[in-house]
Amino acid sequence: MKQLTPTTRNYPQDVTIIEVDGREFIIIGTAHVSQESAALVRQVISQEQPNCVCVELDPQRYKTLIEKNKWENLNLKEVIRRKQLTTLLVNLLLSAYQKKLGQGLGILPGAELLEATKAAQEFDIPIALCDRDVRITLRRAWYSMSFWEKMKLLSSGLIGMFESPELSEEMLAEMRQTDVLSEMMKELGQFLPVLKMVLIDERDTYIAQKTRAATGQRIVSVVGAGHVEGICHALRTRSERDLSEVEEIPQTSFLWKVVGWGIPVIILGAIAYIGYSQGLNAAGENVILWVLANGIPSAIGTALALGHPITILTAFVAAPLTSLTPVIGAGYVTAFVQVYLQPPKIKELQSVGEDINHVKKWWQNRLLRVFLVFILSGLGSLIGTYVGAYGILSNMVGVGG
């Protein structure tokens, strides 16, 4: 192994070198949309000639970065069947925002991570993909948040997505400074503590443990600058954790299960009580009330999304039924029908990363329109559930009185 003296290691402060148990870890903190970061990564790997190069990627993200036809292979129906449409949308929002930042600097998001793998391959150095599966990370983040935290995240994400941030390499260099990043992490923790725990803290521990498991005395690790402090702390303290714990998808809490099944029981019980107290005609009227209260708002939401006419009809029929079960929502039913009737074209899948930044394109791009159908039909069904429940319970109280 090439021996390096302090004078030959004239690295910027984006590079942190620590020694643990006789092993050397060179941590490169990067900005994922920085050309300067990509150049620094190659310089360090070339100069250090490490035993292994660790990168902040999982196999799924690595495959996405190297495949140009990633969207053409998207099985949207399978995504909907697995109820992962929300996860896909959040992933798209984050990717699109990062891509917008990179366009102004002439570099694609994740280019420095790819540069790390390319440099390692050129020097015949083993590569270790040390990040947790992005699908697990996103799903853990989503299922760990409350309903209002999810709304807070989506609203802030949509607002940020349509902004036009202008970042120079100088601004990115400043952002990579430890004090600035520490402040940003604090702000994220205050804004959405659960999100910081899943996206930052858990992955710091995960990446550090995978990095420590890499073979060799000298390891170069390429990670986002926001992870450097946490990873270095985990390496220095030799902290260990059962990684299977942070690879599990959180289960729905017992309370939410009770609420989810409790609402249908209450609604059906109220209709049955009305029928017992006032007769079948009164019960039938309340059934119609439930159908209209759920079906109309969901159908309107689907129409506002410019869903196919049959999808609009499906929303009207499905919403009253899906509102009586927590197993599946109206949004997933309408999204599946919309994909079946108007599947996205190849060119629309290819341009979704750009189209997502333009409001009008959400109605023009068929993939984005599926998301609109999913969101607006589900929102309409949610509103209808509360309106219908209020009307039926009011009628029950009136009957009882």
pLDDT, residue 199, reads: 81
**For 230-235, what is the mean pLDDT?**
92
The widest CA-to-CA distance across the chain, in whole angstroms, is: 92
Q: How far is the C-alpha of 205 from the C-alpha of 200, rounded, in Å?
A: 9
Phi and psi angles of residue 233, each rounded to the nearest 5 degrees, phi first: -65, -45
Region of residue 21 (phi > 0: left; psi between -120 and 50: alpha; otherwise: beta)? left
What would the pLDDT profile of 278-330 be if each residue is shown by its tens digit? 888 988 999 999 999 999 999 999 999 999 999 999 999 999 999 888 778 89
Q: How far is the C-alpha of 311 from the C-alpha of 297, rounded, in Å?
A: 14
Q: Which two tokens stand for residue 257?
A: 């299960």
Which stretch, 42-51, 169-178, 221-230, 346-355, has highest mean pLDDT?
A: 42-51
What would the pLDDT profile of 257-280 be if each residue is shown by its tens digit? 676 778 888 888 888 988 888 888
Specify the DSSP element, H or E, that contains 367: helix 366-400
- pTM here is 0.64
Domain layout of the chain by residue ranges:
6-247, 254-400
**For 55-74, what is the mean pLDDT?**
74
The three-class DSSP label of residue 25 is strand
pLDDT, residue 117, reads: 92
Q: How far is the C-alpha of 355 from the C-alpha of 362, rounded, in Å?
A: 7
What would the pLDDT profile of 68-126 be if each residue is shown by its tens digit? 555 555 667 777 777 767 767 766 665 654 454 444 434 345 778 888 999 999 999 99
Helices (H) and strands (E) in the chain, counts: 19, 5
Residue listed under structure tokens 């994220």:
188
pLDDT at 31 exceeding the cut of 90: no
Q: How far is the C-alpha of 34 from the C-alpha of 19, rounded, in Å?
A: 27
Q: How far is the C-alpha of 388 from the C-alpha of 271, rounded, in Å?
A: 11
pLDDT at 34 exceeding the cut of 70: no
CB neighbours of residue 389 within 10 Å: 19
User: Side-chain half-sphere of 251: how many Cα atoms within 13 Å?
Assistant: 5
Residue listed under structure tokens 């366009």:
103
CB neighbours of residue 328 within 10 Å: 13
Q: Which two tokens stand for residue 106?
A: 């002439």
pLDDT, residue 172, reads: 45
Which of 14-23, 237-246, 346-355 comes out lowest in average pLDDT?
A: 346-355
pLDDT, residue 311, reads: 95
